[in-house]
Amino acid sequence: MKRFMLLSLLTLTSMSVVSNDDFHIPGVLYSSSDSSTLAIHNLSKEEITIDIYGENFTLANGSGLSFDCESQSYVEIQIKNKIHDYFEVSCPSKVTFSDKFKLVD
């Protein structure tokens, strides 16, 4: 079974995302989740490529993915094409690239 599943279009009303004080990447929001997966949503105007443990995923505007946490407590996410932007989140949780996120500062 595949570990990743591309999700359909997302809407803001279906998410309850709150900003986390530990995040210092403008436009990236984080919240804990009761789900068994890490959910990543792209609500920005950018097409974003992220790296999770050496696998690249490209998220178009309005799309997302689900990562099966299996036995992992934390997951490192690297934002490609953005120097030094990577972060670690608890698994499970929700990460959202909001409309304020920009690849170029």
pLDDT values of the chain reduced to their tens digit, one per residue, 105 residues: 333 333 322 323 233 333 444 567 889 999 988 888 999 999 999 999 999 989 999 999 999 999 998 888 999 999 998 877 888 999 999 999 999 998 876
pTM of the shown model: 0.75
**What's the mean pLDDT when you consider all of the chain?**
79
- pLDDT at site 83: 72
DSSP-assigned states of every residue in 52-103: ETTEEEEE-TTEEEEEE-TT-SEEEEEETTSTT-EEEEESSEEEEE-TT--S
- pLDDT at site 18: 39
